[in-house]
Structure 1
Amino acid sequence: MDDGLKQRLVGALVLLALGVLFVPLLFEPEHRRSVNHTTQIPPAPGIQPVEVRAPERNADIEPMKPVEEMYRIIPEAELTPPETEGAAAKAPEVEATPVKESATAASKTPTPVVQKQPEPDRNILDAQGLPGAWLVQVASFTQEERAIALRDKLLKDDFPAFTRTLQTSKGKVTRVYVGPKINREKATGLKATLDKSLKIDALIVRFTP
């Protein structure tokens, strides 16, 4: 290929490239943005002036009177009460008459009342010459553990309780007692207390060491 042909081909390619770039610009319309230069503030509204009337006085209302006419100020001199004739006069003096104390009343002194102390419990001897005493039998158990539990409960409630184990025809029995009391009257009172506390009907038995 000769040089002349090469130059013509190169020139044709350059013209074709320029045509691709500039030809669309010739046919494209101008896109210009229109700007509205007018203001966007709305027009001022039409405001009519308001006429403010001065307050009118009601003819039916009476004007307020001065304080001096409404209230009467009393001078301090008029507030002092006048002296009465009874206050001016002196009260009659009463002569005090000494009271003579009776010599017999003064000489008497109160006699102290001697309270009779309760007699201590006396030991009542039985036929063997031993002091008699009484126990309150609370319950009997075939199981020793239940008897010990009841005894511990009574001891916790400040009752002098103890147990005794006996051999009977029905087997071993453990009984719970409270006491002893030196006379039957106190044992009876103890029984009543235990009956009420434990909801039982206890027995009163003689104490044997």
Structure 2
Amino acid sequence: MASKFQSRLVGTIILVAIGVIFLPDLFDGKKQHYQEQFASIPLQPEIGEEGEFEVIPEPEFAEVDLPPEPVTVVIDEPEASNTVSERGTVKVEPAPVTQPKVGNRDSGWVVQLGVFRNFDNANQLVSKLRDAGYQAHVFPKQPQQGDLARVVVGPDVSKSKLSTQLKELEKLTGLKGRLLRFNPLNP
């Protein structure tokens, strides 16, 4: 025989189920149905007033005369500007290539004070050097994962000026720097 608790539980479940099923319909009221109005596409074009179909004009194309022979491009170095000759050839002046002056390639010098794994330490050292009036940099400017930070002072053209600053930099930072050539393409 079922206990009173089981009977009450079954009764409660039945009442809740009836409420979930039928009560929303009672409280919704009268439903309104909406039907979309749409325009149908005509199957045949409309006939004009005179009983004829409207004629769409054909598109007009421009006629282009092509030269009888192929156009060639001639590059002449002595001329200063781009010109077109009567035959249709184009003469283009190439951009002048300037060679670096002798001695400018390796003329810069820097003092490398250290190589750091932690970029925060390198940036703190650079700010300390800049506060003291030195031109200091961290390379690379945009580090990748696993890159090392190099702290340098310079560049300067005068090797002797930087070599005299070595002792001042050692007193300021406690790091023994070394003098290196500066390559602007790969700092």
Task: Tell which structure's C-alpha radius of gyration is larger.
Answer: 1
TM-score, scaled relative to structure 1: 0.36
Larger helix proportion of the pair: 1
TM-score, scaled relative to structure 2: 0.39
